[in-house]
Amino acid sequence: MSKPPVMARAVERGLAPLRGRRASHLLPRARLGGPMPWVIAIMVALTVLATGGVLALTNLVDRARADLAGGVTVQIVEADPVLRAAQAERTMAVLRDLPGVGDQRLVPQAELEALIEPWLGGGVRSEVVPLPALIDVRLEGEVHDEALDSLRSALAEVAPDARVDAQSDWLGPVFDAIAALRWLALGLIALLAFTSAAAVWLAARNALNANRSTIEVVHLLGGTDGQIARIFQRSVLIDAALGGLVGLILGAVALTILGAQFAALDAGLVQGGGLDAIDWLLMALVPFAAVAIALLTARMTVLASLRKMS
């Protein structure tokens, strides 16, 4: 039995918009007037900041390890300046002829005094505060326990007061703290992603409840759950795209300001934590991830709710 012409035309008029661009107007939503775009913008901005922090810390650790690779510090801890100078000279002579040793440099006394000046103040002299002789050594291979033991054995006779340490060991606690900060930032990114999904879930549920009567009419006109879900997805796509763009701009501006502040410190370790072009490209992908999470959450929420309505 065929449908009456009036009903057939009504069904046709009801279903045609569901396949076109005007489908989103069946369930009206305000653009930038509701909280959803701004919530996504805040989440994206915080995620960009956290991602930038993770990438900057990773660059800092990688560059610091590269700079310290093969680095060894030899300290001559002797209070008598004459004996200290003599042991330093003999140590330098042994290091020049020792296989596996690349470069070596005796740090000048003035440079040592400049290093401790921030803590002990200016005008500190070795006669008042005995400073160890410091020798910067670069090994040709990696620094490991066997290489350090071999170096200590070679210097034991000529410099009994010498202390040999790998330069990377000095920054071991710093590297551990940076690793903890990176894990904290990654946890924050995961939490922000979960929060964004929860916000979209709440918004989709509220929109469904607010438009329940309209959805029932669409169902009576032959609309399917998939078509209704696509209407909500289109609405969420626009909100998430606008919020993601605003959040990316806010996060990029904040990172630029923070980067300029850290660069002004003129500290070698801090300057190694800059961001390169690949890092900025990765952060530019954050809004796309936010949009994908929003779309997937909206579709799953709408389809699950519509199945309960049926």
- Tokens 């800092």: give the residue: 60
pLDDT digits (tens, 9 = 90+) for 126-178: 556 677 888 888 887 777 777 788 888 888 888 888 888 877 777 778 788 88
> What pLDDT was estimated at residue 284?
92
Coil/strand/helix, residue 136: strand
Coil/strand/helix, residue 269: helix
Handedness of CA 83, 84, 90, 93 (dihedral sign): negative
Mean pLDDT of the chain: 77
> What pLDDT was estimated at residue 253?
93
> What pLDDT was estimated at residue 32?
45
Q: What is the mean pLDDT of residues 93-113?
A: 81
Residue 207's nearest CA partner among 34, 91, 46 is 34
Which range, 16-30, 182-196, 250-264, has the best average confidence (pLDDT)? 182-196
Residue 48: pLDDT over 90: yes
Coil/strand/helix, residue 280: helix
> Between residues 250 and 99, which one has the greater pLDDT?
250
Helix (H) or strand (E) holding 96: helix 81-97
Residue 207's nearest CA partner among 36, 19, 16, 44 is 36
Q: What is the mean pLDDT of residues 65-83?
A: 79
pLDDT band at 41 (very low <50, low <70, confident <90, very high): very high
Residue 231: pLDDT over 60: yes
Question: Domain limits of the chain?
Answer: 5-65+173-309, 78-160
> What pLDDT was estimated at residue 273?
61
Q: CA 63 to CA 272: how far, in whole Å?
A: 6
Q: Which two tokens stand for residue 60?
A: 């800092």
Q: What is the mean pLDDT of residues 81-108?
A: 84
> What pLDDT was estimated at residue 248?
94
Which range, 77-86, 88-97, 157-166, 188-197, has the best average confidence (pLDDT)? 188-197
> What pLDDT was estimated at residue 67?
67
pLDDT band at 70 (very low <50, low <70, confident <90, very high): confident
Residue 24: pLDDT over 70: no
Coil/strand/helix, residue 129: coil
The reply to whether the predicted model has a pTM over 0.85 is no
pLDDT band at 120 (very low <50, low <70, confident <90, very high): low
Of 6-15, 259-268, 286-295, the least confident:
6-15
Q: Which two tokens stand for residue 100?
A: 């596996």
